[in-house]
Structure 1
Amino acid sequence: MTAIDSATEPAAGPDATARTAPEILTDARDLVEPALREAATGLPDPMHRIAGYHFGWCDAEGRPASGDGGKALRPALVLLAAEAVGGTARAALPAAVAVELVHNFSLLHDDVMDGDTTRRHRPTAWSVFGPSPAVLAGDALLTLAFEVLASDGGPRAAEAGRMLGAAVQALVGGQAADLSFERRNDVGLDECTAMACGKTGALLGCCTALGALLGGAERARVDALLDFGADMGLAFQIADDLLGIWGDPAATGKPVHSDLRSRKKSLPVVAALTSGTDAGERLGALLAGEGPMTDATAARAADLVEAAGGRAWCEARAAELLNRSSAALDAAALREAPRRELTALARLAAHRDG
């Protein structure tokens, strides 16, 4: 019997009490991790070791460890969406594992492309094993995601595979746009928002849509939950971009002002650069410089982003997205307890501190 077959169902009846966001994530992690570990046993040995290190299951030498494996937000969205439309977590568990594999494929590749040396409070996989092995490990996770999803064999498995494939294409397109922005000084706010929708919003939208699909929902409800997840995903990216400038390193696991040090064209930065303010112009001149930023320069850049309204724009847009995502949940006619829990996760995504 596989971990998926033996999975227990969290209570989600009509009268079930809604859990807090931390409880939802803990329950999802407890349900998904055994199935995720089992799926990873199918990886080739070198890739299994790198993936195990990245997930926090082992140290660099392959010895068992208990590192931070992430929040399990995406699997939680899959499981909750399935329950919200009247299905079960068990029916959606392969999809929950698949989206977590896709997410971590993207993280392995992102760390290489961005040159980040820290993730989840430990050295990144590429900085330990080398860039090429880390890229190959990411490729292996991506392939495994589709194997897990196809292995379900249900009547909607093919449609689920197409849905996940489309999300990965959008994610890759968003990442490509993000990379191209590094070489440009004329990035517009609309195209930066579109990049974030692809890079982050597409996969979160896919999570809730996959859960609804495998929970047995009809197309209109699947589409409503796709809209919810996509809006939540953009709010999540806004929060991530704010943390990339002002986040506490103890919570984020990354240095303060990390995105500014790399001159990343994140949403608050682009909002500031396109604000037409004096602070925005001074920020543009500062970011156009060459060479590594000092602590003082990065702090000055953060002050200019705020003075130009970049932070305020992000906070207002996140609030708008939360309101819009709530309307999408209303349109989906969901069970009450999982609906409240989806709302709790959306609020957590938009207002998290790490």
Structure 2
Amino acid sequence: MSPGVEQVLTESRGAVLPALRAAVAAMPYPMRRIACYHFGWSDAFGSPVHTDSGKMVRSALALLCARAVGGDPTSAIPAAVAVELVHNFSLLHDDIMDGDRTRRHRGAAWTVFGVPAALLAGDALWALALRVLAAAPHADRSLPILTDALWWLMDGQSADADFPHRTEVTVAECEAMAAGKTGSIMGCACALGALLGGGTTGQIAALREMGEQLGLAFQLVDDLLGIWGDPGTTGKPGGDLVNRKKTLPVVAALNSGTAAGVELAAFYRGDRALTESEQTHAAHLIQSAGGRDWAQLEAERRLAEATTLLTRANPHPGAAEALATLATHLAHRDS
């Protein structure tokens, strides 16, 4: 991570974390205990700890977009808190849906507290996000933006859960799933930041689209890391191939019309977890069928579109440079 990106994320976390902690502190105890564990603030017994609580990329986007439209970044703190709450609601549910037992280098919340409790904690986080925005300025405009993003997030998650049960999934369907699952919340973060920063309707729209494109680039890279990334670096178990997930590189390979794609399809018709050697071979087939190269090129294309949309928003120079630096990092990261 470049010093510029590290500084942007560190400054954002410093501004948002106190407000995020204060919001979570208002939750009923059973759900607050799970949320604090999930965020890395406490252990399973509620004792304070200092572990990885994530990069908080979405909250950084909200603050930067407020700056980009000439506003005070602190005005966007309610937006930053809300999108972090929604993002972490989705992580709590996603770990359960995918059966992932690890999150940020320790046990996922559902493995510690059980599935029902983790589900309820996730539900409480998105309800809390709505409460945070309802108490902030421009609630009449911000709440529809957030609820719309939630709608598309759940649509994307639904498609993601459905894909393993289908023999064929098109690239367009997979990209639509990623747009809902990841792009919607990043677009929401940018739109809310621009709104609370006092941006014009045109600026809000352009920055929202920028975030959506950036979200697709982010998901493409995430899917690449899910196959070729180091779990020790990503903090995730790397189970995409074990569970035969139809992620973007995989779907591109399956639809490639190549011999490697046909062989990969045979792997994906099975119903048991792939062995380590089978995972290695499946990764080789995805690469041979062009799935890896396609995902990398598509991430670059989405990044370029995001950069164009950023320029269209006529951002203040300092904020524009910081946003461009962060965007480039998100499309080229290794964790």
The alignment's TM-score, normalised by the length of structure 2, stands at 0.98
Which aligned pairs between 1:58-207 and structure 2 lie closer than 5 A? 58-152=42-136, 154=137, 156-207=138-189
Match of 1:260 in 2: 241
**How far off is 1:250 after superposition?**
1.3
3-state SS of the aligned residue for 1:185?
A: coil
User: Which of 17, 21, 25 pairs up with 1:33?
Assistant: 17
Tell me, yes or no, if structure 1 residue 335 matches structure 2 residue 316.
yes
Return the alpha-carbon distance in structure 2 between the equivalents of residues 255 and 113 of structure 1. Answer: 14
Return the alpha-carbon distance in structure 2 between the equivalents of residues 244 and 185 of structure 1. Answer: 21
**How far off is 1:290 after superposition?**
2.2
The answer for unaligned runs of 5 or more in structure 2 is: none
User: Which of 241, 259, 272 pairs up with 2:223?
Assistant: 241
**How far off is 1:143 after superposition?**
0.4
Return the alpha-carbon distance in structure 2 between the equivalents of residues 214 and 34 of structure 1. Answer: 19
Return the alpha-carbon distance in structure 1 between the equivalents of residues 71 and 258 of structure 2. Answer: 51
Which aligned pairs between 1:204-353 and structure 2 lie closer than 5 A? 204-256=186-238, 258-353=239-334
Return the alpha-carbon distance in structure 2 between the equivalents of residues 144 and 255 of structure 1. Answer: 29
Q: How much is the aligned-residue C-alpha RMSD, in angstroms? A: 1.1
Deviations 1:40-97 (A, max 9, x none): 1111101010000000000011111011111010000000000110001121101100
Return the alpha-carbon distance in structure 2 between the equivalents of residues 254 and 305 of structure 1. Answer: 20
**How far off is 1:255 after superposition?**
3.0
Identity score, percent: 52
- Tell me the matched-pair count: 334
Return the alpha-carbon distance in structure 1 between the equivalents of residues 209 and 279 of structure 2. Answer: 36
Return the alpha-carbon distance in structure 2 between the equivalents of residues 291 and 179 of structure 1. Answer: 17
**How far off is 1:252 after superposition?**
0.8
**How far off is 1:254 after superposition?**
2.3
**How far off is 1:218 after superposition?**
1.0
Deviations 1:194-251 (A, max 9, x none): 0000100010011111111111111111111011100000000001000100001111
Q: Which amino acid aligns with 1:117?
A: R
3-state SS of the aligned residue for 2:95?
A: helix
**How far off is 1:273 after superposition?**
0.1
Return the alpha-carbon distance in structure 1 between the equivalents of residues 37 and 237 of structure 2. Answer: 21
Quick check: 2:16–2:59 contact (8 Å CA) kept in 1?
yes
Moved over 6 A (4+): none
The answer for unaligned runs of 5 or more in structure 1 is: 1-18
Deviations 1:278-324 (A, max 9, x none): 00000000121121211000111000000000000001111111111
Return the alpha-carbon distance in structure 1 between the equivalents of residues 229 and 236 of structure 2. Answer: 8
Return the alpha-carbon distance in structure 2 between the equivalents of residues 337 and 83 of structure 1. Answer: 8
User: Which of 33, 36, 39 pairs up with 1:52?
Assistant: 36
3-state SS of the aligned residue for 2:249?
A: helix
Return the alpha-carbon distance in structure 2 between the equivalents of residues 184 and 232 of structure 1. Answer: 28
Quick check: 2:15–2:74 contact (8 Å CA) kept in 1?
no
3-state SS of the aligned residue for 1:235?
A: helix
Match of 1:16 in 2: none
